[in-house]
Structure 1
Amino acid sequence: MAEYGFYHLTRTPLEQALPKLLGRVLAGGGRAMVRVAEPARLEALDAALWTCPDPDWLPHGTPRSGHAALQPIWLTTEDAGPEGAPNGARFLFLLENTQSAQLAAFDRVLDLFDGGDAEAVAKARERWRQAKAAGHALTYWQQGARGWEKKA
């Protein structure tokens, strides 16, 4: 079972929070797959990761750029296959209320949601219930004054 973490964005937008989390994965020698809901959002996120200041280098690819196996970070609108992420990632980032039927293919799932969006919060609660029923180890993180704070 995957360790499934819910990340409640309350202080910074996704475009600022995501690069720092991805940077931590890369710094630890990991690989990540990032799933978004819409192709237009994928393109915007692709551009944002190339120009983010912190960390200043997040090597990544998309289906359009190809060569998934070479990409430390893979951005996609598609779910992983039964064999896992096309880049061999063990970290799965779920954005924009996306879900995955392949959670067991990952060591860790990070589900980021906007705390200022009531619909996103309600959908995150439903994903929490589903993940708990499936037996995943759940954690809940919320942005605080000093960064991410793990809540009970």
Structure 2
Amino acid sequence: MQVDFYHLTAAPLDRVLPAVAEKVLAGGGRLLVVSGDAEQRGALDRVLWLHPAESFLPHAQAGDGDDHAQPVLIAGDVSPANAARHVALADGIWRDEALAFDRVFHFFDEDRIRDARGAWKALAEREGVQRRYWKQNEAGRWEQAA
């Protein structure tokens, strides 16, 4: 299982998450997007409706319809009602339940860097967990830093 830590410095989550969702779907996967903040879930729902303008990124918020049918499901907890094997922790909070997925995208900004470092260190002791740390360069491109 793989955990990718994404340190948001140059681009905000609302620009990064749609690109990740597109890649997961293009690979035939499903994505669960988790945030404990209802306001953030609503904002992410709107962002996914609007991005990209030339195509459609199918998604819904948990409880708004047939959760199981949604390729991208936005939820308040780590319950893959859509049978996702990829999870995006959008609110910067690490959850050990994410380790049940094949791949975790852990997004965090400067406000959550201390928590992310703690999760990084704790995962070093977990057998079978591959960790990667991504940061944005000055041009806004992602570079693997660890």
Q: TM-score, normalised by structure 2?
A: 0.89
> What is residue 112 of structure 2 aligned with on the other side?
120
Q: Deviation at 1:19?
A: 0.5
Out of 104, 120, 139, the residue aligned to residue 132 of structure 2 is 139
Q: Deviation at 1:98?
A: 2.3
What is the alpha-carbon distance in structure 2 between the residues aligned to residue 121 and residue 9 of structure 1?
A: 10
Query: In the alignment, is the contact (CA less than 8 A) between 2:93 and 2:115 conserved in 1?
Result: no
RMSD across aligned positions (CA): 1.7
Aligned length: 144
Give structure 2 stretches of 5+ with no counterpart.
none
Q: Deviation at 1:32?
A: 0.3
The answer to whether 1:11 aligns with 2:7 is no
The amino acid that maps onto 2:69 is: L
Q: TM-score, normalised by structure 1?
A: 0.86
> What is residue 90 of structure 1 aligned with on the other side?
85
The answer to whether 1:151 aligns with 2:145 is yes
| Equivalences for residues 1-152 of structure 1 within 5 A | 2-53=1-52, 56-80=55-79, 85-114=80-109, 117=110, 119-135=111-127, 136-144=129-137, 145=139, 147-152=141-146
What is the alpha-carbon distance in structure 2 between the residues aligned to residue 54 and residue 106 of structure 1?
A: 30
Q: Which runs of 4+ in 1 moved over 6 A?
A: none
Q: Deviation at 1:55?
A: 7.1
* Alignment CA distance shift 1:146-1:98 (3 Å): closer
* Alignment CA distance shift 1:125-1:47 (3 Å): same
Identity across matched positions, percent: 35
Q: Deviation at 1:64?
A: 3.4
The amino acid that maps onto 1:73 is: V
